[in-house]
Structure 1
Amino acid sequence: MTAPRYDDEGEVPLGGYAALATTFTAGVALFAAVAHRRGVRPPEQVPPWDVALMGTAVFKASRLLTRDKITSFLRAPFTRRTRQGEASEVMDEPRGGGAQRAVGDLVSCPFCTSAWVAGALVCSYAVAPRGTRLVCAGLTAVTAADWLQYAWTWAQQNAEG
């Protein structure tokens, strides 16, 4: 007797997803153990401004990793290009099966990738909050510049009629 499938097509790589979730969890646990052993104490509180700064940085970093043309070499083993998106973004879709497909799902989805980016930034913030703020400020500046580019383009298009 075979177990019922998770989806109708049988294409969801549950084993690959489990491996990715295990990798993420193990990475966080390893970081926590090493940080504890070295006497790193997490901050008592995280100011709302730092949360906003990290949130914007997570947004931008996840878009850069999953949609930017220049980072396509990272995604290429796991995805294939389907079309050009807006501005300089591209749209990729996962390829293959099993672990390759699971990683493809991860690296082609900004929402999925954002959890990994947030995990890395939170770990970095615990060890080096000043450096992490600087990196986050840079990514936030890029996000602001993107919005200004969109606003400029919109204004030009409306002025031209």
Structure 2
Amino acid sequence: MRETQEQYENGKEERPLRGYLGALGVFGGMTGALALTGKLLGKRLPERFSLGDTVLLGIATHKASRLLAKDAVTSPLRAPFVRYEQPAGDAELNESVRGHGARHAVGELLTCPFCLAMWVATGLAAGMVFAPRFTRLASTVLTSVAAADALQLGYDALKQAAG
């Protein structure tokens, strides 16, 4: 581990390994707490998720991750960990991570929709165990917003193509 840490420390940019380890610990702790809570409450995991639920949660995960990581309205949640750079178009922002250690690691997590997707998907999957009706409702809303976004972008592209 020490050799790996030295390789990271001698690289071109700082990699906050302890911060990443902390994030992994929080994720593991949260999933463990969810599993324990489910066991104590007598919740059973579904035998399987339907294809419809999988698609619904997949699109909802995509939209929620982008909303959290890139949307201007959610920028106050990211502000302690990032620096505003510029608009990124289509109601999204470009931000750069600031700080060191845990602050830097959290900033990377909060600005990366790919990184957030695991957290969001885990939350939605847990929601399907603890509150499936509410989770399907929230996921349907997020999926509808993603579909509306695609239609808005398609409409704009057609308008531009038409001149």
Shorter-chain TM-score bucket reads: over 0.9
1:9 and 2:12 aligned: yes
Counterpart for residue 130 of structure 1: 133
User: What is the CA-CA distance between 1:45 and the residue it aligns to?
Assistant: 1.1
Query: Alignment partner for residue 104 of structure 1, among 103, 107, 118?
Result: 107
How many residues were matched structurally? Answer: 159
Structure 1-normalised TM-score? Answer: 0.95
Give the helix-richer structure, 1 or 2: 2
Q: Secondary structure of the equivalent of 1:63?
A: helix
Q: Secondary structure of the equivalent of 2:36?
A: helix
Query: Alignment partner for residue 22 of structure 2, among 16, 19, 23?
Result: 19
- The gaps in structure 2 that reach 5 residues or longer are none
Please say if residues 62 and 113 of structure 1, whose CA atoms lie closer than 8 Å, have aligned partners that are also in contact: yes
Counterpart for residue 123 of structure 2: 120
Structure 1 stretch displaced more, 99-108 or 82-91: 82-91
User: What is the CA-CA distance between 1:128 and the residue it aligns to?
Assistant: 1.5
1:68 and 2:68 aligned: no
Cα distance in 1 for residues equivalent to 2:46 and 2:116: 25
Query: Alignment partner for residue 48 of structure 2, among 45, 49, 52?
Result: 45
- The gaps in structure 1 that reach 5 residues or longer are none
Counterpart for residue 91 of structure 2: 88
Structure 2-normalised TM-score? Answer: 0.94
Please say if residues 42 and 127 of structure 1, whose CA atoms lie closer than 8 Å, have aligned partners that are also in contact: no
Residues 152 and 126 (structure 1), Cα distance of their counterparts in 2 relative to 1, 3 Å cut: same
Deviation >4 Å, runs of 4+:
none
Q: What percent of counterpart residues are identical?
A: 40
Q: Secondary structure of the equivalent of 1:45?
A: coil
Query: Alignment partner for residue 151 of structure 1, among 117, 129, 154?
Result: 154
